[in-house]
Amino acid sequence: MANDLSVRELVRTFGDFTAVDDVTFDVPQGSFFSILGPSGCGKTTLLRMVAGFDEPTSGTIAIRGTDMCGVPPNKRPVNLVFQHLALFPMMNVAENIAFGLKRRGMQSAEISRKTQAILERVDLPGYGDKRINQLSGGQKQRVAIARCLVMEPSVLLLDEPLGALDLKLREQMKVELKKLQAKVGTTFIYITHDQSEALVMSDRIAVMNNGRFEQVGPPRELYSDPHTPFVARFVGENNAWSGTVEEVDTHVRIRTEEGLLFRARSHDAYPAGTRVDLFLRPEALRIEPEGKSLNTFKVTVKTILFDGANSRLLTVTPKNHELLVSLPQNRQFDYIQPGDIITLDWHPDSGLCFEA
């Protein structure tokens, strides 16, 4: 499959500060690609370079095989949905959508035909005469996307466009965006700091930190097999525990600071005595297991964090180390009260450790 976007060894520095540090990736045609990272990680700088608002210090950006170096934003086959949408308040919906087509010098009959068609595509037929401030948040979102899609870009860039919406609408728009992308088939590159947005919508995600890509892969892989401690911490919830490697066989034997001994998995073979961080997902911890293994230990329930399907127990080990434990949905543990002492256990493959 052809790549719509190829970025090679891209670097952008501002004085002494390196905002984007040697980034290389490809986005295949028609896929939904997300760049996920905390604010200040360089993802916006990267996006601005792809859009053409900023020039790389070194490295190349190619769109459909054409090098984009020196091509101004108005000449690139990419469009950008802005964080705050940047819909032109002085124009109505149709004028907003027609703006780019007019710049191309298209016939007005053709423009109005295309405008109608794209409005239907984003489920806003007949909204052409509405003013921007008459639209709801979700409708504005769709107009902003329609305004870009009507240009038939090779790549559509989206800069955290859901950030300004309230929670309910955000959940709804996540699904809608995913469906829209599948329908139109345009390559989407989506920038976000919200890991749930990235996990739900993307075909592939790049996790970015301090200007570098930590890991690129499908959502499932990032979640179940993070390659770096940063990814383990940033994608999904994780309990972190520091300890020391005692012995390595098929698994790593780790002694935590409070003396508990566990078996866990690691990507690299660490020699005995290495200080490591152990990451355990809350849903990997089994409550009151049958039988006993090396990874069995006891904790005290501190409080119950009830959140519907996402309810968890906040527990502490005897040395006061906090651990979050997922509550299964079959209500079998409804009897647990704060102050109870419970037994936990986990499979050695579900704990992952990295050198600290």
Q: Smaller CB distance to another protein: residue 53 or 306?
A: 53
Largest CA distance in the chain: 76
What is the distance between the alpha carbons of residues 69 and 100, in angstroms, rounded to a whole number? 22
Which one-letter amino acid corresponds to residue 324? L
SS3 at position 147: helix
Per CB under 8 A, does 59 bind another protein? no
Per CB under 8 A, does 129 bind another protein? no
Per CB under 8 A, does 14 bind another protein? no
Q: Is 103 in contact with 74 (CB distance < 8 Å)?
A: yes
Q: What is the DSSP string of 14-47?
A: ETTEEEEEEEEEEEETT-EEEEE--TTSSHHHHH
Structural tokens at position 186: 């345009």
What is the distance between the alpha carbons of residues 50 and 153, in angstroms, rounded to a whole number? 13
**Ordered alpha helix ranges (H), the chain:** 43-51, 93-103, 108-121, 137-149, 167-184, 195-201, 219-224, 229-234
Per CB under 8 A, does 80 bind another protein? yes
Per CB under 8 A, does 76 bind another protein? yes
Identified binder of another protein from the candidate list 14, 24, 67, 103, rule CB under 8 A? 103
Structural tokens at position 211: 């200007």
Closest CA to 29 of 75, 77, 68: 77
Q: Smaller CB distance to another protein: residue 101 or 285?
A: 101
Identified binder of another protein from the candidate list 3, 18, 60, 83, rule CB under 8 A? 83
State the minimum distance, in angstroms, from the CB of residue 151 to another protein. 7
Identified binder of another protein from the candidate list 30, 73, 138, 289, rule CB under 8 A? 73
Per CB under 8 A, does 51 bind another protein? yes
Per CB under 8 A, does 189 bind another protein? no
Per CB under 8 A, does 88 bind another protein? yes
Per CB under 8 A, does 84 bind another protein? yes
Per CB under 8 A, does 100 bind another protein? yes
Task: Give the interface segment with another protein, choosing from 25-33, 96-104, 121-129, 304-312 (CB under 8 A).
Answer: 96-104
Per CB under 8 A, does 217 bind another protein? no
What is the distance between the alpha carbons of residues 148 and 156, in angstroms, rounded to a whole number? 7
What is the distance between the alpha carbons of residues 184 and 174, in angstroms, rounded to a whole number? 16
Task: Give the interface segment with another protein, choosing from 49-57, 119-127, 178-186, 261-269 (CB under 8 A).
Answer: 49-57
Residues that bind another protein (CB under 8 A): 51-53, 55, 70-76, 78-80, 82-84, 86-90, 99-100, 103-104, 147-148, 151
